Homo-oligomer: A and B are copies of this chain.
Amino acid sequence: MPASSALLADLSRAIPPARLLTSPEDLIVHGYDGTWLERTPDLVVAVADADEIAAVLCVAARHHVPVVPRGGGSGLAGGSVAFRGGIVLSTTLMGKIVEIDREALIAVVQPGVVNAALQAAVERVGLFYPPDPASLNQATIGGNVATSASGPRCLKYGGTKDYVVGLQVVLASGEVQRLGGRSHQPGPDHNLLQTFIGSEGTLGVISEVTVRLLPRPASRGTVMTTFDRLEEAGHAVGRILGAGVVPLALEMMDRTTLRCVEDYLHSGLPVDCEAMLLIDVDGDADSVAEQVAIVARACRDAGASTVRPAESPADAAQLWRARRSTSSSFGRIRPNKLGEDVSVPRSRIPAMVRAVQEIAARYDLLIPLFGHIGDGNLHPNILCDLRDRPEMVRVREAARAIFAAAIANEGAISGEHGIGVLKREFLPDSLDPNAMGLMRRIKRALDPEGILNPGKVLI
């Protein structure tokens, strides 16, 4: 439904007309995310600052029109797709790194700054911003905050929630709110700050983010290792952590993933093992050498069939090529995938991987699985073809079975992708029944008219 002329007239009093986008092309390119979910919004507003965000929210409230904040559109749960129509509020023009303070170790950024751009900017001055979702070349910091994104490095360094020290948020009422500050220490409103991290645009629109930074580690090392049995891979993780080494990344690929990737790369991957691990460590050069030795020993002691430390950065990049090629390799096999995201306690990883294998067999689907094994965050990818209706019925049932298996294994149905709409229906199974009511109460307190990203997270 096109935006009403009354709505457009009200908006054009606050926003320059060039940034009120209504052409079919503009609407279409703001109607998708990193899933296969699509819905063309009625209108796109490309905002330039917090005051404009506030103006859009006030006008939207008057017209009872939903507002869906959107950054890079790389979300994996439909959170930035305007399923109920209304306004997509795009933050991509707010792409400025406001400040990098090397003394205070903080950066202040507008919400539309792309994650990789922030990483590159701070690394140029010897600093380090650890959160690294796979979509880092597209995903914005605002979106990272809204989904509480993390990535491989979060085992050692934590995710977005651990780096945000200050937020500017525009509430549904149009109030511009500052939470936290510039100190690395949590302030008196820390719990309020955290309420917005991972709220997926349902409680407010993030208009500025202050993150803490670390000194950039001098050196990095990589070990590739394979295991004939999943349980051995689990033991290796326990031994590595038990030896006091916390790897930067601890990535696992299961046999199905390895076979998909090998079919694509033909690089001689070990397709008969049950699991391959890629383990990165960082620190100064001596410490890295020592950590690599400890990791290699721990893997051998756990029964690894191969243990191969990278001999150079180029060699490490080659080892990581397999992990980075998963999505491309899946695309060769089936046109679509449902990229899932569950997390389970570390000790339940082998059980969870076997459960996914059993579900793949039961529903006759190919479900390669990889993930951040160090913290139990697994990504089963259900390969499929959206045009194949009977298959899509099985995909849906398999997804449900995977969530049930995660919950049965004391896990959660979202590790790092958020809930959005894709997993909304599974949320009540995953949470304490009271928690849903509590979420609703907070939502009503902050957005009584329900204009902020309606239909997301909560049903």
Contacts and interface: CB of A to CB of B under 8 A. Distances in A.
Interface of A: 101, 103-106, 126, 148, 150, 154, 158-159, 161-162, 171, 175-179, 181-192, 194-199, 214-218, 238, 241-244, 246, 283-284, 286-287, 290, 294, 343-348, 375-377, 410-416, 418-419, 423, 427, 430-432, 434-435, 437-439, 441-442, 444-446, 457
B284 A410 contact: no
B150 A375 contact: no
Given A183-B375, A185-B375, 17 more contacts: A104-B346, A126-B242, A159-B186, A171-B438, A175-B437, A176-B434, A177-B435, A179-B432, A183-B345, A184-B345, A187-B430, A188-B419, A191-B197, A192-B435, A192-B442, A286-B290, A438-B446
A459 to B, nearest CB: 13
A218 B244 CA distance: 7
Contact of A182 (B158, B175, B179, B410): B410
Contact of A177 (B177, B347, B416, B438): B438
Contact of A191 (B171, B179, B195): B195
A413 B188 contact: yes
Contacts of A188: 198, 412-414, 418-419, 423, 427, 430-431, 457
Question: Would you list the 5 A-B pairs with minimal beta carbon distance, nearest first?
Answer: A194-B194, A187-B412, A103-B347, A185-B343, A445-B445
Contacts of A158: 158, 162
Contacts of A284: 243-244, 290, 294
Nearest to A184: B375
Contacts of A410: 181-183
Contact of A435 (B178, B238, B246): B178
Contacts of A198: 186, 188, 190-191
A383 to B, nearest CB: 24
A286 to B, nearest CB: 6
Contacts of A199: 191
A158 B178 CA distance: 23
A441 B446 contact: yes
B435 A104 contact: no
A375 B244 CA distance: 24
Most chain B CB atoms below 10 A, which of A185, A217, A246, A416:
A185
A148 B347 CA distance: 28
Given A188-B418, A192-B435, A427-B188, A344 B179 contact: no
B178 A432 contact: yes
Nearest to A160: B186
A114 to B, nearest CB: 23
Contact of A186 (B148, B242, B244, B345): B148
Given A176-B434, A194-B194, A242-B126, A185 B415 contact: yes
Nearest to A437: B175
Most chain B CB atoms below 10 A, which of A287, A412, A444:
A412
20 contacts: A104-B347, A104-B348, A105-B241, A148-B191, A184-B376, A185-B376, A187-B412, A187-B430, A188-B413, A188-B423, A189-B439, A190-B197, A192-B435, A192-B438, A194-B197, A195-B442, A214-B241, A215-B243, A217-B244, A284-B294
B345 A106 contact: yes
A388 to B, nearest CB: 30
Nearest to A427: B188
Contacts of A177: 432, 434-435, 438
A198 B191 CA distance: 6
Nearest to A179: B435
Nearest to A414: B188
A77 to B, nearest CB: 10
Contacts of A216: 244
A412 B176 contact: no
A416 B185 contact: yes
Contacts of A346: 103-105, 184
A201 to B, nearest CB: 12
Nearest to A375: B184
Contacts of A375: 183-185
A190 B161 contact: yes
